[in-house]
Chains A and B, each alone.
Chain A
């Protein structure tokens, strides 16, 4: 009892001695936080340097002009990729995974990846699947949710089901790198 009273008194004394921080303290500067600025042209945050390569896309591309046509060409593919990201960001099952990630960059790189894998003639400039997903703790259930959102985006865009599955065929084996728990 005596000890606790003494501790409480000491704590109260400490609190009285402390001074309130000055108004308008720059906490980022105080703690050495470097603010990242979006690139004024691309709208993306800067990333650590890496070597871009189509091999980072994680699979060899399809070679079928009909398949590209089914997706509505490069423009259709870009819309589907962006819609998939939007749906996933709003999906309570997996929204948390996307928090604090650069959605502008994700939309671009995912669009490039789909475009490359479908053989629509893009180059993939993103990082490889293992390093991009290393710290995300993605489960197979998360991957299922993403697949459902991608299917919804493709369905909305009127992509025939067999063509939808041909894109999934390229993505499904990437579970080896993407699923980490």
Chain B
């Protein structure tokens, strides 16, 4: 047998003309043709016809996103979460509502998968403008790591505050969140998804925020969150305890001569209108270490999952007084792309 094999090899080497044609190509083609027909019959209407027509040009890009990749034993960008159960993105880049952190894990991956999401948020206030954007990495249904940058434009108020017209405060936020128990949808109805987290934030205006009275230019928040979707009532309920010394989230530095860490509360209540739409309200308390009238924040919001990957959030926010400028109420718009 071995000599025979060797002679074949010799033949192949000396007479390439007689090399047997390996029938890989037709076999592969046949399989490629067979595959779509095996998947196509699934008659799952995922979205109303008009939405699908409008998104048809994106189909190719989204096909990759739906399939994902499998590297080793890890599903990369394969998705798998129920719509909206990854939350939207907070102003600090974590998964949550618009203002309040939730116990949800960002990205659409389930356990054994890796997901990514990115967001951009704009808040327009009478005297200020907020822009934030960031990315988030989701590891299984267990952990999320996020980076976000916020730019807070003081516009005309900057001149009145003596820091220059259009002076923009910048804040970098690095977040991590770990789900420690429960599930937002499944398991015991009384057991919410519980997550612990940290948020390390660095003001990029160190000299200025110290001049304003802040003790430090960077600080770390510690959070404990609980979130549950009460299916019987179509209600999403979330509460977070945040141990923080941030002034205006950290835009104005951290702590002061008078104050350091304090426990703060942030809560969200959402009503699910459909599997794609949720409306609700949020409340977030904040410390006032600088004595500038740092107010609690609140909003009413509507979020809509336009596709499995794109979620838009619009809100009316009341941020109270910011840097002595009172009645900062305005519009909030946020877009999140998640895989």
Q: A149-B44, A156-B45 are in contact. Are A144 and B110 (CB under 8 A)?
A: yes
Q: Does A131 contact B (CB under 8 A)?
A: no
Q: A92-B42, A144-B110 are in contact. Are A175 and B231 (CB under 8 A)?
A: no
Does B111 lie within 8 Å of A140, measured CB to CB?
yes
Q: Does A70 contact B (CB under 8 A)?
A: no
Does A168 lie within 8 Å of B231, measured CB to CB?
yes
Q: Interface on chain A toward B: helix, strand, loop, or mixed SS? A: helix
Q: Does A8 contact B (CB under 8 A)?
A: yes
Q: How far is the CA of A166 from the CA of B189 in the complex (A)?
A: 12
Contacts of A1-30 to chain B: CB distance below 8 A: 1, 4-5, 8, 12
**Taking CB as reference atom, which chain B residue is nearest A175?**
B186
**Taking CB as reference atom, which chain A residue is nearest B277?**
A161
Contacts of B79-101 to chain A: CB distance below 8 A: 80-82
**Taking CB as reference atom, which chain B residue is nearest A11?**
B1
Q: Does B299 contact A (CB under 8 A)?
A: no
Does A172 lie within 8 Å of B185, measured CB to CB?
yes
Contacts of A154-171 to chain B: CB distance below 8 A: 155-156, 161-162, 165-166, 168-169
Q: Does A173 contact B (CB under 8 A)?
A: yes
Q: A5-B1, A169-B232 are in contact. Are A175 and B187 (CB under 8 A)?
A: yes
Q: Does B10 contact A (CB under 8 A)?
A: no
Contact with B along A85-124 (1 / 0, CB 8 A): 0010011100000000000000000000000000000000
Does B38 lie within 8 Å of A141, measured CB to CB?
no
Contact with A along B53-84 (1 / 0, CB 8 A): 00000000000000000000000000011100
Which of B43, B44, B82, B231 lies in contact with A166, CB distance below 8 A?
B231
Q: How far is the CA of A152 from the CA of B113 in the complex (A)?
A: 25
Q: How far is the CA of A149 from the CA of B183 in the complex (A)?
A: 20
Q: Does B141 contact A (CB under 8 A)?
A: yes
Q: Does B51 contact A (CB under 8 A)?
A: no
**Taking CB as reference atom, which chain A residue is nearest B191?**
A173
A35 CB, nearest partner CB in chain B, Å: 28
Does A166 lie within 8 Å of B38, measured CB to CB?
no
Which of B42, B45, B183 lies in contact with A140, CB distance below 8 A?
B183
Q: Does A63 contact B (CB under 8 A)?
A: no
Q: Does B27 contact A (CB under 8 A)?
A: no
Q: A141-B111, A156-B45 are in contact. Are A161 and B185 (CB under 8 A)?
A: no
What are 18 sample pairs from A and B whose C-beta atoms fall under 8 A apart? A1-B2, A91-B42, A91-B44, A140-B111, A141-B110, A145-B80, A148-B82, A165-B272, A166-B232, A168-B231, A169-B230, A172-B186, A172-B187, A172-B231, A173-B186, A173-B187, A176-B187, A179-B186
Q: Which 10 A-B pairs have the closest CB atoms?
A: A169-B231, A175-B186, A141-B110, A141-B80, A169-B232, A8-B1, A90-B42, A165-B231, A168-B231, A165-B234
